[in-house]
Amino acid sequence: QSFKLLGFLDVKNVPCARESVLYGSLGSLVVGLGHFLATSRVRRSCDFAVGGFICTMLGYWIYCRYNLAQQRIRQRMLKEGMRNRVLFEGSYLDPEKKQTGNERSNS
């Protein structure tokens, strides 16, 4: 069963959403507790905790989505390279085929 955050963000099906929420909650705990230990001001520490949650969640979201996009680009390039290898294997366009002197004179 899926969990929707704020009514629209499906944490189960959206890539990077689960990790972002988990890291955001950890960041909120660290920032809020750290501010409370430094100043002993409860309300201000809660404000810092909310800000820490938002900053950590958005920061990890951007980092994760960037890495996911890079991975998809690499997968697309690899898939295209494999398709080209299958298409050109054994033909004169094959980059791995070594031409001998006799073959060069014939073509």
- pLDDT tens by residue, the chain, 107 residues: 666 666 666 767 778 888 998 999 999 999 999 999 999 999 999 999 999 999 999 999 999 999 999 999 999 999 988 887 777 777 776 667 665 545 555 55
pLDDT at residue 5, as a whole number: 67
Q: Are 48 and 58 in contact (CB under 8 A)?
A: no
- Mapping DSSP onto H, E and C, the string for 52-78 reads HHHHHHHHHHHHHHHHHHHHHHHHHHH
Angstrom distances, CA of residue 96 to CA of 83, 86, 88, 89? 15, 12, 10, 8
First-to-last CA distance in the chain? 64
Q: What is the pLDDT of residue 86?
A: 73
The ranges assigned to domains in the chain are 11-85
Find the helix or strand (DSSP H, E) in which 9 lies: strand 9-10
pLDDT value for 24: 94
